[in-house]
Structure 1
Amino acid sequence: MNKLLLLVGAGIGYVLGARAGRERYDQIADQATKLWTDPRVQTKVDEAKTKAPEVAQKVGEQAKAKVDEAKAKVTGDSSSSSNGSSSSGSAFGGSGSSSSSGTVQNATGSYDPESGTATVDTTGFGPGGDKLP
């Protein structure tokens, strides 16, 4: 009897909740439509659309500059570095070696800027992997 009463109560609650939920959903959808079609909102949307290409170009230029900076750090080329300093040793951190041609090698892999190829330690253990169980 208690299970039957629980099921009937749950069914009534579901039906009433679904009706109230749909009505509330319709209210929210109507408000969102009114807001989107408001002339003030559309003015701002149009402004954003006209500025988007300019912003995209700026972001692209900044990203390219950062890539060039990173390449300079990896290859050890100080001429294109923003602060004019160069670092010796591995650009990947830890111990490693780098050559005058810009090739870098350490325990996790190597990078050859001339061919644009990078090799990565595929064992999944990284440096000191032989010490893992």
Structure 2
Amino acid sequence: MRNKLMLLVGAAAGYVLGARAGRERYDQIADQANKAWSNPKVQETVEQVKAKAPELSQKVSEQAKATADGVKSKVTGHEATGADGSYENASGSLDGDGEATVDTTGFGPGGEKLP
């Protein structure tokens, strides 16, 4: 029983001392962060970023759209899906009834380039 009591007292003391040290260190870090944030050079940089943000946002949006359009044109190639469930691409097709036709040249698109 005495050992359990000593263990609990030791744990409680460790918790209190650790919490105090932790709080002091937290306060030190918070003070340093506040000093850095209130630095005039930091605030000047923040204002510059705020001023350029709309312009950069527009550029990023335009580049993303152009990239998406380029990818879309590469992906779609020669393929089509009909409302009846039919599908067609460069190597064959599947009609709405499930009947498949396959490119009979042997190698599909680009087959003429194979040895």
On whether the aligned pair clears a TM of 0.5, the verdict is yes
Aligned positions of 1:82-121 closer than 5 A: 97-98=88-89
Count of residues paired in the alignment: 84
CA distance in structure 1 between the aligned counterparts of 2:3 and 2:89, rounded to whole angstroms: 77
Moved >6 Å (runs of 4+): none
User: Alpha-carbon deviation of 1:24?
Assistant: 1.3
**Stretches of structure 1 lacking an aligned partner (at least 5 in a row):** 77-87, 90-95, 106-133
Residues 1:34 and 2:24 aligned together: no
Unaligned runs of 5+ in 2: 80-86, 95-115
Q: Which amino acid aligns with 1:98?
A: N
The residue number in structure 2 matching 1:111 is: none
> Which residue of the partner structure matches residue 99 of structure 2?
none
CA-based RMSD = 2.4
Q: Write the letter of the residue equivalent to 1:57.
A: Q
For residues 39 and 63 of structure 2, what CA distance do their matches in structure 1 show?
35
Equivalence map 1:24-63=2 (5 Å)? 24-63=25-64
Is residue 2:6 matched to residue 1:5? yes
**CA–CA separation in structure 2 for the residues paired with 1:17 and 1:34:** 26
More helix by share: 2
Over the matched positions of the two proteins, sequence identity in percent amounts to 63
Counterpart residue number, 1:17: 18
When Rg is computed on C-alpha atoms for both structures, the one with the higher figure is: 2
Equivalents in 2 of 1:75, 1:29: separation in Å? 54
